[in-house]
């Protein structure tokens, strides 16, 4: 019997940054559209099945944008905190979608909320990758005035991603 060789991967570990807007359905007015969420989860599953370690940072703009809130009278720090919570909502939704199709997943957050997700600890995140799990990073950087794009770059550096 011939041994099956795995294809050589260009990227061993990636950090995928998704806008919260990819989950929104403007026509139906849904912040998180089940069909869009399922579509994105299936795409992540295909990448994961190739043997690529996948980290994900989701934005929260489909639910709340801190900068927009500031323009409407919300204190900027409070608005950014609300935006960070929105990213955690999206992370939990993506975790649920991935796990429902058989992809082992963990959510780690920059804001501690132990009943919902693990706090981000670099070594623990790396261990999740070693165990074949997709890791979703919620809560941005945990600091106001930074976008989830900044969080994605930070997390990509922290986990040693080959591509962002």
Q: Is pLDDT of 4 > 70?
A: no
pLDDT attached to residue 68: 81
pLDDT attached to residue 103: 98
Exposed e or buried b per residue across 137-150, where buried means at least 16 C-beta atoms within 10 angstroms of its C-beta:
bbbbbbebebbbee
User: Residue 111 has which token pair?
Assistant: 């804001």
**Each residue of 66-83: pLDDT tens digit?**
878 778 899 999 999 999
**For residues 92-119, average pLDDT:** 97
pTM of the model: 0.92
The H or E element containing residue 108 is strand 105-109
Give the helix ranges, DSSP H, for the chain: 34-49, 66-71, 76-100, 122-130, 148-159
Gyration radius from the chain CA atoms: 16
**For residues 135-140, average pLDDT:** 98
**For residues 37-56, average pLDDT:** 97
DSSP secondary structure string for all residues of 57-87: EE--TTT--HHHHHHTT--HHHHHHHHHHHH
Q: Is pLDDT of 26 > 70?
A: yes
Band of pLDDT at residue 96, cut at 50, 70 and 90: very high
Q: Is pLDDT of 27 > 70?
A: yes
Q: What is the mean pLDDT of the chain?
A: 94
């Amino acid at each position: 019997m011939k041994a099956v060789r795995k294809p050589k991967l260009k990227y061993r570990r990636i950090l995928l940054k998704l806008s919260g807007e990819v989950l929104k359905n403007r026509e139906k007015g849904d912040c998180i559209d089940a069909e869009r969420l399922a579509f994105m989860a299936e795409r992540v599953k295909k990448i994961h099945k190739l043997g690529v370690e996948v980290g994900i940072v989701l934005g929260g703009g489909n639910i709340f944008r801190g900068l927009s809130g500031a323009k409407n009278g919300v204190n900027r720090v409070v608005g950014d905190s609300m935006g960070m919570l929105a990213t955690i909502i999206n992370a939990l939704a993506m975790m649920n979608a991935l796990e429902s199709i058989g992809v082992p997943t963990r959510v780690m957050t920059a804001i501690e909320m132990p009943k919902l997700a693990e706090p981000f600890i670099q070594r623990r995140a790396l261990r999740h990758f070693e165990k074949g799990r997709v890791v979703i990073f919620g809560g941005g950087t945990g600091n106001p005035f930074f976008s989830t794009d900044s969080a994605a770059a930070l997390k990509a550096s922290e986990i040693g991603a080959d591509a962002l």
